[in-house]
Chains A and B, each alone.
Chain A
Amino acid sequence: MNTNFMHIVLADDDEDDRLFFTDAFDELKLNTKVSTYNDGVELMNYLKTDTAKIPQILFLDLNMPRKSGMECLAEIKADTKFKDMAIAIYSTSASEEDIENTFVQGANIYIKKPSDFKTLKKILSQVVTINWQYHTNGLNKDNFLMRL
């Protein structure tokens, strides 16, 4: 097993979604290490410890108790420590308002949770293989929302 795996973090209060997420990565058999947090507070507590390993990609649910995804996004963007971390919004809704706000706040991609496991796997595999440098340079409001 290659120790140079990709570190991926998901913050989502929904147990089922966390299950689908980890199942998908298990089945994808990519070189990834997935850790999940139950809400924004847990996530930020982890990220703020000095010893924390900063993930390559953070999947962030928006609607969470205690601390919402938007709040986490704002805190993360305020800290230069996380400037190389890609942030994927991972939400049930794809309302114009949410898309607009997260784009302005500096998220890298917006994923609407699919209702099909196969599609989920497809999306996640695409996201982890994105060249973020390239993607971020050409980012605009139209390609911010991920489409298959």
Chain B
Amino acid sequence: MTLKSIYNSSWFLKSVFALSIFIILFVSGVTYKHMKNLSYSANQVEQTYKVSVELEQIISYLKDTETGQRGFIITQDSIYLEPYLKGRERINNTLAQLRELTKNNEDQRVNLRELNTLIEERLSNFSRTYANLKNSSPNNPRFDAIFLEGKNKMDEIRVRVNTMIALENRRLEERKEAYKKDLKFTPMFLFGLTLLTLILITISYTKIQADIDKLKDANAKLEIFKASANQSEIISKHGNWQWIVEDKEFIFSDNLYRLLGEEPQSFDSTIDNFMQFVHPEDLEKLSIQVEKMMEDQELPFINYRIIRKNGEIRFFKARGKKVNIGDFEKRVLGTTHDITDEVENLLALEEQNFELEQNNKELSAFNYVASHDLQEPLRKIQTFISRLEDKEASKFSDSGKLYLKRISNASSRMRLLIDDLLQFSRTNKSDQVFETINLNDLMENATQDLAEIIQEKNATITLKNLPIANVIPFQIQQLFINLLSNSLKYSKKEVKPLVHVACDVVRASEEEVIKKTKSDFYYKIIFTDNGIGFEQEYAEKIFMLFNRLHNRESYSGTGIGLSICKKIVENHKGFIFANGKPNTGASFTIYLPKK
């Protein structure tokens, strides 16, 4: 894990805060303890001073007593006994205070006890002195021993007091030392910790600030997205809704209200309010689906109608799907689409289709009439003509024979027209089945069909190897027949007809003439002849139905053959083009898609 990812992770902030709080608590604790230490030290110092003062006080009282004693010895005046009498009481008070002050110190207590004993002994020494003084003169040698003892006791007391003061002073020094040490390190430690806390809080602040910026940014983007979603909803006639599963509540988007012909958020987004708009015939269907959705959290595509308040009927299509986004509660997100335009278009299309179907049916009926009903009387006319020619022609005058010949020609032509029309209408059929077949076989069949005329015209047909392709076999065969017979028909009278068929695979993008491509590769089959050709300006016209470039006397034909060719090629999603040069020849180029 890199530093950056740690910085960006969600637990980073929490950890930093927890750490900061811990440090602050720790700092507070340490400070509190330190303060307590300080006040304790101060107390101790004060106590030490007090002990010293009290001890000095004892010495002072003892001195007062001694001074009184001396005065009494000299004057025998009882006034000098007062310091002794008062001193005793004061010493006892001071000792009591000292006991209180040194109750926590074992050494001092031992010292104090001994001091106490010494003082008692000193004081008893005083008492004995006074008792003796009443009976004898101070110059009595008896006193020497007592005075010496008193002096010694006093010395001992001084030594003891000094020891105690020294002890207190030592302790004071120790405390001062510890206090100094505390004063030296604790503030630095606390300062360091506080600094660390400040750094941590600064980092957190930066992080929070960065997060807030990011959030603001995301919010702005979301606002833009919302605006664009709103806009697209309006333009594409969509409305959105949400079903909050846990709360059992709906949220409708503004445009959903507009689709219903209402002002946005003009009524509560409840299913009951919505259902008031639904077409009565679709109400049950939709209710069942919506109830199912509340259980399954999924609404399959459903079509229904609504009626706006102005009576307008609109067609809706809705769909809903469960989504889980982030920490949100489960929701079904739904889209409702106003498909009225589509439905109306569809209805219009259906109507047009129906009309087209009717037209097609009429055309088929016409084709049947042309193929069957028209053929029958024509066949009879032709048969009767052949009967007349066979049996009765000898009885006709020359003009009668000519008329008969003309009738025969006209009916033959009609037969040709009917046959070609029939073929053209058969090429119309779109339900022909594509088969993968060798085009060479189809070409072979075509030349066999034309064997008679090929022989008659002494024509030569040269072939390049043709591919195996996916085509409607009989149509391609018809195409070959029509193109070959076209070349043979429009051959020059004095020259042997020559037709060359070439084939190549080409890339659609490399052929200029191919505009809209369905396929990347095409078979390019070219029929080239040495016939009479045509002016290039007619190159497109010759593919039109009933279009002829020559009169019937010079070249027979119905003007349907090449139309059939075009239709067949188009059925195969291919292209056909003609190139001609008068008296030189014509070439027909066919492109068939290579699949």
Give A contacts to B, CB under 8 Å.
14, 16-17, 20, 23, 63, 92-93, 95, 113-118, 120
Known contacts being A16-B380, A115-B378, A115-B415, is A93 close to B386, with CB within 8 Å?
no
Top-9 shortest CB links A-B: A115-B382, A115-B379, A117-B386, A116-B386, A92-B376, A93-B372, A16-B380, A117-B387, A117-B383
Query: Bound state CA distance, A115 and B380, in angstroms?
Result: 7
Q: From A116, which residue of chain B is reached at the shortest CB distance? A: B386
Query: Bound state CA distance, A76 and B105, in angstroms?
Result: 145
Q: Contact mask B113-141 → A, CB, 8 Å, 1/0?
A: 00000000000000000000000000000
Query: Bound state CA distance, A16 and B387, in angstroms?
Result: 12
Q: Which residues of A contact B371 (CB under 8 A)?
A: 93, 95
Residues of B in contact (CB 8 Å), total 14
Q: Which residues of A contact B383 (CB under 8 A)?
A: 16, 20, 114-117, 120
Q: From B377, which residue of chain A is reached at the shortest CB distance? A: A16
- For chain B, residues 369 to 396, give those with C-beta under 8 angstroms from any C-beta of chain A: 371-372, 375-376, 378-380, 382-384, 386-387, 390
Which of B380, B383, B387, B415 lies at the interface centre, i.e. has the most chain A CB atoms within 10 A of its CB? B383
Q: Contact mask B69-96 → A, CB, 8 Å, 1/0?
A: 0000000000000000000000000000
Query: Bound state CA distance, A117 and B380, in angstroms?
Result: 10
Q: Which residues of A contact B384 (CB under 8 A)?
A: 16
Q: Which residues of B contact A116 (CB under 8 A)?
A: 382-383, 386
Q: Which residues of B contact A95 (CB under 8 A)?
A: 371
Known contacts being A92-B372, A93-B371, A93-B375, is A118 close to B386, with CB within 8 Å?
yes
Q: From B389, which residue of chain A is reached at the shortest CB distance? A: A117
Q: From B380, which residue of chain A is reached at the shortest CB distance? A: A16
- With A115-B379, A115-B383 known, 20 other A-B pairs at CB within 8 A are A14-B376, A16-B380, A16-B383, A16-B384, A23-B387, A92-B372, A92-B375, A92-B376, A93-B371, A93-B372, A113-B379, A114-B383, A115-B382, A115-B415, A116-B382, A116-B383, A116-B386, A117-B386, A117-B387, A117-B390
B390 to A: closest C-beta gap in Å: 6
Q: Which residues of A contact B372 (CB under 8 A)?
A: 63, 92-93
Q: Is the interface of A mostly helix, strand, loop or mixed?
A: loop
Q: Which residues of B contact A117 (CB under 8 A)?
A: 383, 386-387, 390
Q: From B390, which residue of chain A is reached at the shortest CB distance? A: A117
Query: Bound state CA distance, A69 and B384, in angstroms?
Result: 25
Give B contacts to A, CB under 8 Å.
371-372, 375-376, 378-380, 382-384, 386-387, 390, 415
B351 to A: closest C-beta gap in Å: 31
Query: Bound state CA distance, A16 and B376, in angstroms?
Result: 10
10 A-B contacts (beta carbon < 8 Å): A17-B380, A20-B383, A92-B372, A92-B375, A93-B375, A114-B379, A114-B383, A115-B382, A115-B383, A116-B382
Query: Bound state CA distance, A113 and B379, in angstroms?
Result: 8
Beta-carbon contact of B379 and A92 below 8 Å: yes
A148 to B: closest C-beta gap in Å: 12
B541 to A: closest C-beta gap in Å: 32
Q: Which residues of A contact B382 (CB under 8 A)?
A: 115-116
Query: Bound state CA distance, A58 and B378, in angstroms?
Result: 25
Q: Which residues of B contact A92 (CB under 8 A)?
A: 372, 375-376, 379
Q: Which residues of A contact B415 (CB under 8 A)?
A: 115
A66 to B: closest C-beta gap in Å: 19
Q: From A16, which residue of chain B is reached at the shortest CB distance? A: B380
A138 to B: closest C-beta gap in Å: 20
Query: Bound state CA distance, A143 and B387, in angstroms?
Result: 29
Q: Which residues of A contact B376 (CB under 8 A)?
A: 14, 92
Q: Which residues of B contact A113 (CB under 8 A)?
A: 379
A119 to B: closest C-beta gap in Å: 8
Q: Which residues of B contact A20 (CB under 8 A)?
A: 383
Query: Bound state CA distance, A105 and B298, in angstroms?
Result: 56
B68 to A: closest C-beta gap in Å: 163
B112 to A: closest C-beta gap in Å: 142
Q: Which residues of B contact A118 (CB under 8 A)?
A: 386, 390
Q: From A23, which residue of chain B is reached at the shortest CB distance? A: B387
Q: Which residues of A contact B387 (CB under 8 A)?
A: 23, 117
Query: Bound state CA distance, A115 and B387, in angstroms?
Result: 11
Which of A14, A23, A115 lies at the interface centre, i.e. has the most chain B CB atoms within 10 A of its CB? A115
Q: From B412, which residue of chain A is reached at the shortest CB distance? A: A115
Query: Bound state CA distance, A95 and B423, in angstroms?
Result: 11
Query: Bound state CA distance, A63 and B372, in angstroms?
Result: 10
A82 to B: closest C-beta gap in Å: 28
A110 to B: closest C-beta gap in Å: 15
Query: Bound state CA distance, A117 and B384, in angstroms?
Result: 8
Query: Bound state CA distance, A42 and B206, in angstroms?
Result: 109
Query: Bound state CA distance, A14 and B379, in angstroms?
Result: 12
Q: Which residues of B contact A115 (CB under 8 A)?
A: 378-379, 382-383, 386, 415
A48 to B: closest C-beta gap in Å: 29
A93 to B: closest C-beta gap in Å: 5
Which of A17, A63, A93 lies at the interface centre, i.e. has the most chain B CB atoms within 10 A of its CB? A93
